[in-house]
Amino acid sequence: MADPLAAFRLDGQLAVITGGAGGLGRAIAEALAAAGAALVVTSRDGARAEAAAAALAAAHGVAATGVALDVTDPASVTAVFAGLTRVDVLVNNAGTTRRGPLAALTADDWDAVLDTNLRGAWLCTRAAAPALAGGGRVVNVASMFAAVGLPARSPYVASKGGLVALTRALAIELAPSGVRVNALCPGPFATAMADAAARADMLAAIPLGRWGQPAELGPAALFLASAASSYVTGAALTVDGGYTAR
């Protein structure tokens, strides 16, 4: 039997991580680089992307490029992927949120969240599909809130539920071209997106009794991004300290 650990290696492969300069995207980029992948890391801020790419290249001895990308802008998405003839892994990680009760949120809030979290992933996958054909993997960073509700975050919860549904649809549609599409559903991870009040509110509902550290998401992303998950498509992998098990 082949060495099962070898299936996690990404040597000679290229991974694109949207929003990969910080937070969970950066942690995912670290894991993929540690497995040997060359990286394209994006940020809306080109200088931030370049700095992250340089740090990742130095830490892991892989090639890494930083690129400016706004996933809400179709022209920006087209420009980035037009320059890539081969993409082995696309991680649709870019995300945003707006908080507030239903009556306080505006149509612009809804559009900002849906345009980034759902339309952005669709635009990037559409643009990358020709370069992914013949073995590529898409990892959509959704959320445990695709499975359970959360008050005062209605656009976010809707966007992440939509992203898991999109994952299933594209898994079926892209399977004949050899592309696997899966969702990664993080629970409470301590990043800029989770403020101190949210952290305190949620702690009692986490069976493992603590917030996750971003580095704890990387190995799960690597599983979905690599041949280790070769018979997995259209799935959602939850990494949430047991939050949704209640």
Which residues contribute to the site for ligand NAP (CB under 6 A)?
18-19, 21-25, 43-45, 48, 69-72, 93-96, 116, 141, 143, 186, 188-189, 191-194
CA distances from 183 to 46, 146, 152, 177 (A): 27, 10, 23, 19
Residue 130: partners with Cβ closer than 8 Å, 6 or more residues away? none
Distance CA(124)–CA(126), nearest Å, equals 5
- Which is nearer to ligand NAP, 63 or 206 (by Cβ)? 206
- Which is nearer to ligand NAP, 114 or 131 (by Cβ)? 114
- Which is nearer to ligand NAP, 190 or 232 (by Cβ)? 190
- Which is nearer to ligand NAP, 105 or 133 (by Cβ)? 105
Amino acid sitting at position 114: L
Q: For 100, left (φ over 0), alpha (ψ -120 to 50), or beta? A: left
> Closest distance between ligand NAP and the C-beta of residue 140, in Å?
9
> Closest distance between ligand NAP and the C-beta of residue 232, in Å?
20
Q: Output b/e per residue, 124-149; b: 16+ Cβ within 10 A.
A: bbebbbebbeeebbbbbbbbbbbbee
> Closest distance between ligand NAP and the C-beta of residue 40, in Å?
13
> Closest distance between ligand NAP and the C-beta of residue 27, in Å?
8
- Mind telling me the catalytic residues? 156
